[in-house]
Structure 1
Amino acid sequence: MADTWKALAAEKKNRQKEAIPQQWLIDVPGDEVLDVTGVPEACGLLSELEVEITN
């Protein structure tokens, strides 16, 4: 039974990952980065208005 739900969960996670367009993905900062508040400005995906709303 455990293998069944694990396989199903892995399949769903993979499908979810494939559904996100590549250009929407950003690099995840390493564990040493403690402050990620600058990511919205730095990622380049958001317009100025979207960054303003996010902040």
Structure 2
Amino acid sequence: MASIGIIGFLFSLIAFIIPLVLIIFILIWIHQIKVNSENQVKQNNEIIKLLEELNNK
């Protein structure tokens, strides 16, 4: 009977850890998207500046 309790405890622990890991993964993914978006905005601004300089020549 003790082994059934241990197995139940392990299933409960796994059921708690999997969503926690998924939440951490999703938060890291969202942070990377934010950083990449900021870089994209900087690059777009540089491209616009260069195109305006080229257009003014």
Q: What TM-score comes out, normalization by structure 2 length?
A: 0.37
Larger Rg: 2
Q: What TM-score comes out, normalization by structure 1 length?
A: 0.38
